[in-house]
Amino acid sequence: MRFNYPAIDYTFQPGDAIYEDINKDGNIDSRDVVYLGNSNPKFIGGFGPTVTLNNQFKFILFFTYRLNYDIINGTDMLTTNLYSYDNQSTAVLSRWRNPGDVTNIPRAIFRGGYNWLGSDRYVEDASFLRLRSATFSYSFDKGFLKKFKMDDLRVFFTADNLFTFTNYRGQDPEVSMRGGDPFGIAIDYSRTPPTRRFTLGIQTRF
């Protein structure tokens, strides 16, 4: 199997990444490129229950989700390419070294080969369900408030971004396409995930 014959004409060696020869011509080139996913989620939205007890206790949950959403794990692509002096992840410790090795990490070739090309190795389903916020509050009863000449007094505790349920291997599955291009591709380079926040507050009215 060759790569981009005759312009480059690299002959694949044992331990190299294996690409699908779509048109069966013995050559891996632009004619073998196919769609591997879609960065436009099929379903996106949010929901959450509100539970009230005796008009005093209130518990509010809010979830957001994306389903059927594919992104490129750009961090994985950069840290497993085994191409230069850049830092690599511990996954490369299981790379191919000798004939007979069975692994999904190709051999290391310094400044050579084509083991780092975009492929289904780096496309992942980033579907997720995130508990965006949870709020618990307590409103004091009117009899108590009259003693202090108050109309309303409520204490609350809110937690944001508590849990994210996903099979995506990166830091955060909520990756957006640059510029909102509907024909673009979402690429994750491990940007900082949403901050987990906790808020304790008091609301009052006289």
Taking only the tens place, the pLDDT of each residue in 111-166 is 999 999 999 999 999 999 999 999 999 988 877 777 777 778 889 999 999 999 99
**Partners of 205 in beta bridges:** 152
117: tokens are 């090309």
CB atoms within 10 A of CB 166: 19
The H or E element that residue 201 is part of is: strand 197-205
Average pLDDT, the chain: 91
Phi-psi region of 15 (alpha: psi -120 to 50; beta: other; left: phi over 0): left
Residue with the two structure tokens 């011509």: 25
Mean pLDDT to the nearest integer, 172-195: 85
| Cα distance between residue 62 and residue 204, in whole Å | 24
Answer yes or no: is 69 within a domain: yes
pTM of the model: 0.83
Answer yes or no: is 100 within a domain: no
**pLDDT value, residue 180:** 65
- Given pLDDT bands bounded at 50, 70 and 90, which one contains residue 181? confident
Q: What residue type is assigned to position 108 of the chain? A: A
Q: HSE, CB side, 13 Å, CA atoms: give it for residue 153.
A: 12
Answer yes or no: is 62 within a domain: yes
Answer yes or no: is 17 within a domain: no
**Overall domain count for the chain:** 1
Whether the predicted pLDDT of 45 surpasses 90: yes
Answer yes or no: is 8 within a domain: no
**pLDDT value, residue 204:** 80
Q: Give the distance from CA 134 to its chain's centroid.
A: 22
Answer yes or no: is 192 within a domain: yes
Domain range spanning residue 132? 37-81+116-205
Answer yes or no: is 25 within a domain: no
What is the tens place of the pLDDT at every residue in 74-111? 999 999 999 999 999 999 999 999 999 999 999 999 99
CB atoms within 10 A of CB 19: 18
Answer yes or no: is 170 within a domain: yes
Of 147, 77, 81, 70, the closest CA to residue 108 belongs to: 81
